[in-house]
Amino acid sequence: MSITAAQVKELRERTGAGMMECKKALVETGGDMDAAIEHLRKSGLAKADKKSARVAAEGAVLDATEGGRSVLVEVNSETDFVAKDSNFRAFAEEVATLAVNAADVDALNATAMASGSSVEDARQQLVAKVGENVQVRRLAHMEAGDGVVGTYIHGGRIGVMVGLEGGNEDLARDIAMHVAALNPAFRDAEDVPAEVMEKEKDILIAQAADSGKPADIIEKMVQGRLKKHLAEITLTGQPFVKDGDVTVGELLKKQGAKVIGFVRMEVGEGIEKEESDFAAEVMQQARGG
């Protein structure tokens, strides 16, 4: 019999299973909705929606490059154990490859994978297989244009893209490695908002207020500390991670290059993790709670 889109939609809404799996279940059960639900429950696919509400703050950051366009993608799981699982890794790696040509996460989720399933359907199937919530959280692109883009992944948890005008890919990758290690907030002094420096100045003045030093001395102290703070928060002001005798800005100037932008992505940043009390959980289970 012919299975309608409305039937597939209803089954998906009622079970949370992937679209392809819903269609297969309806075909196998002759369009019987209740039988299809039972079929999905038996296979574990109907539980995927229940897991989707759980916090997924572990996972991996991956990179891919194609035709001068690079991408970073964060794919999350609930635990580091699943993040190292071969099924999760295979899914995440294929997602990263597809992400190069996807405008955003929604477009990526609708993209067909090699299996024929969409990324979203494959994600839900993976949730059922590994027993944890898995999410494609975010992606970011960078175009090389007339310059170069260097990418660096540290431990599968931190990913960086750096775009350079001038220089070469090796230099871009070295700068990306630096960004991964020292996490500068801004590219250079010109990118730092005035309010950021004003706030820091107010803090430094308050700290120096009880020193008993004359106002002109305090002003010089504050200006010196502001200069140091500016160097700490800007990429070009920081000492280069592979050679602390030169700043990144000096290294770039020496090689006739300029940073046009950078993106740093770290697994789980900005996600509030649930703090669990393991002892309390054990006690609760022991009491049958």
pLDDT bucket at 274, cuts 50 / 70 / 90: low
Q: To the nearest whole percent, how much of the chain has pLDDT over 70?
A: 90
176 in a structural domain: no
76 shares a domain with 11:
no
34: amino acid identity, one letter: D
Point out the domain boundary residue: 143, 169, 200: 143
CATH number at residue 135: 3.30.479.20
Mean pLDDT for 135-148 is 96
Verify that 72 and 109 share a domain, yes or no.
yes
Structure confidence by residue, pLDDT tens digits, 168-208 = 999 999 999 999 999 999 999 999 999 999 999 888 888 88
Q: Is the pLDDT of residue 261 over 70?
A: yes
Name the residue with higher pLDDT: 221 or 60: 60
Radius of gyration of the chain (CA): 25
Q: Residue 138 falls within a domain, yes or no?
A: yes
Token match 């154990």: residue?
81
What CATH number should be reported for the domain holding residue 30? 1.10.8.10
pLDDT at 286: 56
Amino acid identity, position 95? V
Per the structure, the complete domain to which residue 209 belongs is given by 189-259
The encoded tokens of residue 197 equal 């420096």
Ranges of H-type helices in 116-188: 119-130, 169-182
Residue 177 lies in a domain: no
84-120-13 Cα angle (round to 5) = 125
Say whether pLDDT at 278 is over 60: no
31 and 77 share a domain? no
Report the pLDDT value the prediction gives residue 49, as an integer from 0 to 100: 54
Rounded Cα distance, 183 and 55, in Å = 25
- Between CA 115 and CA 112 the distance in angstroms is 8
Provide the pLDDT confidence category of residue 281 given band limits of 50, 70 and 90. low
Residue 76 placed within a domain: yes
Examine the pLDDT at 280 and tell me if it is beyond 90. Answer: no
Domain co-membership, 199 together with 250 = yes
Number of domains within the chain: 3
Say if 47 falls within a structural domain: yes
Judge whether 170 lies within some domain.
Answer: no
**How far is residue 283 CA from its own chain's centroid?**
36
- Using CA atoms, how far apart are residues 183 and 170, in angstroms rounded to an integer? 19
Classify residue 194 as left (phi > 0), alpha (psi -120 to 50) or beta: alpha
- pTM to 2 decimals? 0.76
CATH number at residue 219: 1.10.286.20
Q: Are residues 56 and 116 in the same domain?
A: yes
Residue 125 scores a pLDDT above 80: yes
Domain-located, residue 182: no
Shared domain check, 71 and 28: no
